[in-house]
Amino acid sequence: MNEKEFDDVLARLTGEYKAGLPQRLGEMTVLWGRLSKDRTDAEASRKLHFHFHYFSGSGGSFGLPELSDEATKAEIALSAAVRADRTLTDEECRVIATQLDVVRRIVDGG
């Protein structure tokens, strides 16, 4: 594979990655809706944590470093509650809501 072919494949993979983001974001929005109604919903916390973790660990590899940076803030906010299997605090909920909006703007603009 020459350099141009490599770049072409990388561009295609990046396009596929970005195309998949809205669906994942939709799932995150549903999970956040569940948590907004019931902070004790441990399954929603755990799944939302995995989604933010995915953005955090992948965005920069696909040309979206800001997606990684912003998702990491929400991942950190969720981590302590998920690990301790406890209810989210008011401050953690505020961070998650804020970062979900920031991530949505990045995905919409990406």
Partner 1 sequence: MLDRPRVLYVEDEPDIQTIARLALETIGRFSVEMCSSGEAALVAAQSAVQTGGTFDLVLLDVMMPGIDGPTTLQRLRQVPGFEHVPVVFMTAKVQPDEIRRWHALGAVDVFEKPFDPMSLAARVGEVLGRSRQMGAA
Interactions with partner 1, residue window 52-71 (CB under 8 A):
53-54, 56-62, 65, 68
* CA pair distance 67, 56, nearest whole angstrom: 7
* CA pair distance 2, 83, nearest whole angstrom: 45
Exposure b/e, 11-24, CB count within 10 A at least 16 = b = eeeeeebbeebeee
Q: What is residue 31's DSSP assignment?
A: H
Q: How far is the CB of 24 from partner 1 (least distance, A)?
A: 10
Q: How far is the CB of 57 from partner 1 (least distance, A)?
A: 4
Please tell me whether residue 6 binds partner 1 under the rule CB under 8 A: yes
Binding mask 32-51 for partner 1 (x = CB under 8 A): ------------------x-
33 alpha carbon, distance to own chain's centre: 15
Of the CA atoms within 13 Å of residue 35, those in its CB half-sphere come to 28
Q: How far is the CB of 64 from partner 1 (least distance, A)?
A: 9
Please tell me whether residue 89 binds partner 1 under the rule CB under 8 A: no
Q: Which is nearer to partner 1, 1 or 37 (CB)?
A: 1
* CA pair distance 98, 96, nearest whole angstrom: 5
What are the residues binding partner 1 (CB under 8 A)? 1, 6, 9-10, 13, 16-17, 20, 50, 53-54, 56-62, 65, 68, 72, 75-76
